[in-house]
A and B are shown apart, each in its own frame.
Chain A
Amino acid sequence: MIELKNISFKKDNKTILNNINLKLDDEKFYCITGPNGSGKSTLAKIIMGIEKPTEGKIYLNGVDITDKSIVERANMGIGFAFQQPVRFKGITVFDLLKFATNKNITRKDACEYLSKVGLCALEYVDREINNSLSGGELKRIEIATIIARDPSVAIFDEPEAGIDLWSFQNLNSVFKELETNYKGVILVISHQERILDIADEIILLENGQITETGTSKDMLDRILCDSKCCKKVMK
């Protein structure tokens, strides 16, 4: 369980997040959605420790982690899949999965993690994480590192960003599988209807504030309707 109390974040005299209060329970799949620039990614980075809040506290299973570093939070059980996965010259997919598990995993173990994200494992396990991999492949490898790490809080920052439709369909089935079997907190930043549809709860963030929370059943139609109404107004 992770809890955010009165979290605010300001940068260059601009308020990015304003008094966020959130409690995320284990075995639940949460989606944060909202317009571009509403502070979604910043919120995810604040939970991972990549950004530090200007005000407020963060608790992981009741322990105050506000001043903990990114490494400490990682070792306490928070995992973060980057919106734009990083490329490494020389480091292979196997190396990265080994770092993620912090164990002497076998190639067979690595292949199992890759298979879970729909990659033909033997084809990828020894590949370098460099420009030879497509955006969709990198995204799936990024997600595989989180699955391999098995954190108690798994954060995915716009997993659908920059990938093609075919890759997205695979990704969607990965999240459905996680929703069914994962024991910790899953927090996904997403705009995608099909990912929002999987969520147990949707959190709508606008202008740095939570404006609404609810089940996907309650919220999805309204969010989509609002965006369509918006389009009508724009016309």
Chain B
Amino acid sequence: MNKVDEELLTEVLGSDYEHADAINIRKNGESIKRSVSPYIDIVSKKDKSGIDIIVKDNVKFGIVHIPVIITESGLTDVVYNDFYIGKNSNVIILAGCGIHNDLHKDSEHDGIHRFFLSENSKVKYVEKHYGEGKGDGKRVLNPTTEIYMKPGSSMTMDSVQIKGVDDTIRITKAELAENTTLVVNEKILTNNAQSAKTEFNIELNGENASTHVTSRSVATDDSYQEFKSNVTGNTKCYAHVECDAIIKDNGRVKAIPEIYAGYVDANLIHEAAIGKIAGEQLLKLMSLGLSEKDAEAAIIEGFLK
């Protein structure tokens, strides 16, 4: 790994990117580092590009790092990663992709991640997307996440895309069995002419399944964002979807809510708010001595924290 690789990995996972129970670092379409533990295994797929991450039953506080970096301009990297989480296991998975593109061809990473959570397992999944480089080639990231939750399991998914990604189509699908909880926190900032589209399709199929989806986004310059959520409640369940967006300059945001209650005890809520930074918020921070520019930056930083 060279300096650019290390910097990309640090952006995506932080400086501790090598400290985990199981690691797979993928660079330009190939695995360049892998380590496993007796209770978390990583196996390459035979039929297509990607890996299976297998967490045994009853693993407590396992940590898995599976970052992807792309430094080759013009490369389209498609990867299929499947996560099998054993019964009663509890793991933290840090993933994400950093693209460095200094040239004129587009670089793209399409990560298709599927999660199979066994009974009473618990997953915290953190995914950060980042782009950099001086070239005019686009940095494109299209993640798809599918989540299948068995009874009693829970998952929190935090996804962050703050800088340098030109185009994104992010799709998240989930099927929840009884007594499961899925929490999704999404944070996106777009600028220049960037575009980010996110789509959630969540089916609450088991009694007492619940989901909380929070999307906070900031669209500046000439960028465009689209947030689409489709939550279906097929039983006694609870869903709360919240989409908050700040627009600046010529930024545009579209929120498309869809909730469907197919059962009388399904309790589904969707909230969406889009607007520029409130004048009173700026005034308050300016009355504390912050310049208008600093006040605006502080509000956005807090909003996306």
Which of A7-15, A75-83, A175-183, A195-203 is the contact stretch? Answer: A75-83
Which of A88-96, A165-173, A204-212 is the contact stretch? Answer: A88-96
Is B302 within 8 A of A74, CB to CB?
A: no
**Residue of B278, B280, B284, B289 ringed by the most chain A CB atoms within 10 A:** B289
Interface size class of chain A, counting residues whose CB lies under 8 Å from the partner chain: 20 to 34
State whether the Cβ of A50 lies closer than 8 Å to any Cβ in chain B. yes
Is B287 within 8 A of A74, CB to CB?
A: yes
Q: Cβ of A88: which chain B residues have Cβ within 8 Å of it?
A: 281, 299, 302-303
Is B303 within 8 A of A90, CB to CB?
A: yes
Q: Cβ of A91: which chain B residues have Cβ within 8 Å of it?
A: 298-299, 302-303
Is A99 within 8 A of B285, CB to CB?
A: yes
Q: Per DSSP, are chain B's interface residues mostly helix, strand or loop, or mixed?
A: helix
Is B298 within 8 A of A74, CB to CB?
A: no
Q: Per DSSP, are chain A's interface residues mostly helix, strand or loop, or mixed?
A: mixed
State whether the Cβ of A139 lies closer than 8 Å to any Cβ in chain B. no
Chain A proximity of B112: nearest CB distance (Å) = 31
Q: Decide yes or no: A50 and B283 within 8 Å by CB, A86-B278, A89-B244, A90-B302 being known contacts.
A: yes
Is B299 within 8 A of A71, CB to CB?
A: no
Give the residue name and chain of the A residue nearest to B278 (CB). A86
Chain B proximity of A21: nearest CB distance (Å) = 25
Q: Which of B283, B288, B292, B303 contacts A100 (CB 8 A)?
A: B288
Q: Cβ of B302: which chain A residues have Cβ within 8 Å of it?
A: 88-92, 95
Q: Cβ of A84: which chain B residues have Cβ within 8 Å of it?
A: 280
Q: A96 vs B285: C-alpha distance in the bound complex, in angstroms?
A: 8
State whether the Cβ of B250 lies closer than 8 Å to any Cβ in chain A. no
Q: Cβ of B128: which chain A residues have Cβ within 8 Å of it?
A: none
State whether the Cβ of A28 lies closer than 8 Å to any Cβ in chain B. no
Is A90 within 8 A of B305, CB to CB?
A: yes
Chain A proximity of B282: nearest CB distance (Å) = 9
Q: A70 vs B280: C-alpha distance in the bound complex, in angstroms?
A: 13
Is B244 within 8 A of A99, CB to CB?
A: no
Interface residues of B in 100-133 (CB under 8 A from A): none
Q: Cβ of B303: which chain A residues have Cβ within 8 Å of it?
A: 88-91
Is B304 within 8 A of A70, CB to CB?
A: no
Q: Cβ of B44: which chain A residues have Cβ within 8 Å of it?
A: none
Q: Decide yes or no: A71 and B298 within 8 Å by CB, A82-B280, A90-B304 being known contacts.
A: no
Q: Which 9 A-B pairs have the closest CB atoms?
A: A91-B302, A90-B302, A74-B289, A90-B303, A86-B284, A86-B280, A80-B287, A75-B289, A99-B288
Given contacts A50-B283, A90-B302, A96-B288, 18 further A-B contacts (CB under 8 A): A69-B286, A70-B286, A71-B291, A74-B286, A74-B287, A74-B288, A75-B289, A79-B287, A80-B287, A84-B280, A85-B284, A86-B278, A86-B280, A91-B298, A91-B302, A91-B303, A99-B285, A102-B289
- The interface of chain A, by Cβ under 8 A from chain B, is 48, 50, 69-71, 74-75, 79-80, 82, 84-86, 88-92, 95-96, 99-100, 102, 145, 149
